[in-house]
């Protein structure tokens, strides 16, 4: 599965596996980044391709 360009400007939710903090990032950032640093605990979150796919598949519209 390819990460869709249609979602580059969409807000995506990334959850820290360590402290469970939810962070919102644009799809284009998630596609290009190799990792993110949690704003809560400072944990480095590795963004593997399979993890990126899961983020894109589980994208929920923000209200």
pTM tops 0.85, yes or no = no
Q: Whole domain around residue 38: which residue ranges?
A: 5-57
Q: Is residue 62 part of a domain?
A: no
Q: Is residue 53 part of a domain?
A: yes
What confidence category does residue 63 fall into, taking pLDDT thresholds of 50, 70 and 90? very low
- Per-residue pLDDT tens digits for 38-61: 999 999 999 999 998 888 887 654
Structural domain count of the chain: 1
Distances (CA, A) of 8 to 12, 19, 20, 41, 63: 9, 26, 24, 27, 18
pLDDT of 4 > 90? The answer is no
Q: Is residue 44 part of a domain?
A: yes
Q: Is residue 63 part of a domain?
A: no
Query: Which of these, 5, 17, 20, lies nearest to 46 by C-alpha position?
Result: 17
């Amino acid at each position: 599965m390819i990460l869709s360009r249609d979602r580059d400007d969409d807000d995506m939710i990334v959850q820290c596996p360590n402290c469970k903090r939810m962070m919102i990032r644009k799809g284009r950032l998630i596609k290009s980044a190799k990792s993110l640093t949690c704003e809560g605990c400072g944990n480095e979150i590795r963004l593997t391709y399979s993890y990126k796919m899961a983020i894109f598949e589980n994208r929920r519209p923000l209200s």
